[in-house]
Structure 1
Amino acid sequence: MAHLALSRITKSFDRTTVLHGIDLTVEDGEFVVFVGPSGCGKSTLLRTIAGLESPTSGDITIDNQNVNAVSAANRGCAMVFQSYALYPHMTVYDNMAFGLENMGVAKAAVAQKVNAAAQQLRLNDLLQRKPTQLSGGQRQRVAIGRAIVREPKLFLFDEPLSNLDAELRVSMRIELLELHERLQATMIYVTHDQVEAMTMADRIVVMRSGKIEQVGAPLELYNRPANAFVAGFIGSPRMNLVAADVLRSAGGDALLTQLPAHTHTVGLRPEHVLIDDAGALPYAVRHVEQMGASSLLHGTIGDGVAFDVVCTGQTTVHAGQQVRLAAPIDALHCFNADGVRI
């Protein structure tokens, strides 16, 4: 396990700054997920922690040791990439053993470590296969096994599941969580998929434009987003964010009178909206997605403002129908003109 501290980390490429004064602490044994839109700097931050990039300024400490000048090979980090990065001409065993052999580890110790990792990852029967003979999920397990055998202080995952199909991603998420529970290791995981972040993280770090917007437990970010960006990013389907003036013109005066002063934008999660004949908001249904356990309605309020509603179970509401919506006051999220939570 490892304790990681980042202090005022910046990173620039030529005249472009991609990380702006990052401060973050990751505790021993935590599973922390960096999430944010493409280009927000999360992979650059991970590579900087790994030593694959050098910070322009700031300090990186692992277990209270400043590692700014320590090479990637000597930081005690193991990185798992999106592309697997396996040697195609080597067997699974040789791929997992390669790093240890390069470090001069005795052959018997290499065999013990590789076989133990293979047992954990259910790769025992695949050790003599080549990567081309494996499925995507099996290849990713080999890449993870290659990291495990090094017994690193810190595991770093850079979108490791993005090349897998939807069903396999779900099963691999569970496998990674079970692996974390067994190893009790410190893990940092980068993804653009906020569902992965919500289901895997002890804490989520939401990033935008090279800055941290909010850090917290998944349900903390879901229930009390610090700003409109986090509110719109965390949750699936995304939160409805509507200007107060639009809500007022759509018939929501009764709601607005109960909200804090200076409310500029109102957020409401689709799953917290109710279809109610006595509701304040007229709603034009444009499209209905019937998913069995729930139904997702796409429609508009006011003058054509997009608004989504999630109904539990199957609904008889259909495209082209006009209904009315109600919203519990305690389900509303209020943000000021700067997008900050009120």
Structure 2
Amino acid sequence: MTQVNDNINPNKGKHLTYEERIKIEAYKELGYSNRKIARILNRVPQTINNAVKQGTVRTIKQRQVHNDKVYEYDEYSYSADADYQIYLRNRQHSGRRPKWLRCDSFTQWADDKMLNDGWSPDIVVGRATKEKLFPPDLIPSTSTLYHWIDRGIMKTKNIDLLEKVARTPRNDSPKHRENRRVLGPSIEDRPDKVDTREHFGHWEIDTLIGAKTKEDPVLLTLVERKTRFEIIFKINQKSTDFVNQAMKQLYDRIGNQAATLFKTITSDNGSEFADIHELLTDITDVYFARPYASYERGTKENQHKLIRRFIPKGEYLADISAKTINQIQQWMNNIPRKILNYRTAEEAFLTELQSLAS
């Protein structure tokens, strides 16, 4: 025979209502015990005990004056109003406030870095954690910060995150064509230690165009593979003469340290780099990537994405001043990087220079 459990309490886990508290007050005036009231209201006895204990107040039953002394006779009784007011006050402080409500200082700082300095959410979280800018419990995870942006909690919107908007599926199948033009040693001959990025002084070089006209200047860019330190030159044309001139000026400026700072340079097979191997052969080892194999110079490709934030394709570089180019370079070298444990490229580069000097 199946037995039905009659002891199931439908009110279990529910808070007492104001009407129930009024009934408790009336029943207490009639002298009912807490357990009897619990049976009448179909409540757990402990719930009634807690309410009575919380809502019991002191009232003065009689006051007498005798020989200039005041004597008060009081009594304690349950008050539904007092109990309910305490309940409401406690509810205001119950539960944990959402983290984003508790860390206004972080969200304001994060919005400033993302909107004005172009930082990604991951950089914001990583740098705040590394520098201990806020208490740990006020710094969200990267995924949480992205979630806040998606929900509209932050001033920053998804459209402001250029890396996220421009993200495309990655093709991991490397394809390249055989190089018919031989400008110098192939990347296949480059020392394996260069690939590890554990050693300082290995660079990638490339050019970045604005408008596709012969008259428009181009940017000559170099990046150090380990530290991601960027050097940008604005040259008049995409030609061997102007590339060679810029590189000669750079090496002359560095002087005797050139061989130490520039151990290797990896280039593509652009005609503007046709003479770079011969120009630098006594100082730096130059290697050439295979054509249509941009993945072999991934650092430079990623750096160009950062430059494109400020100089979109098709924009005339002739209209961009040397001061602006320098500001872009400074921004790239002073943005924290996850790959650098949230240090900036400049911090990492200076650390390497200090190691060389010691």
TMscore range, shorter length: under 0.3
Ranked by relative contact order (alpha carbons within 8 Å, sequence separation 6 or more), the top structure is: 1
| TM-score, length-scaled by structure 1 | 0.23
Higher share in helix: 2
| TM-score, length basis structure 2 | 0.22
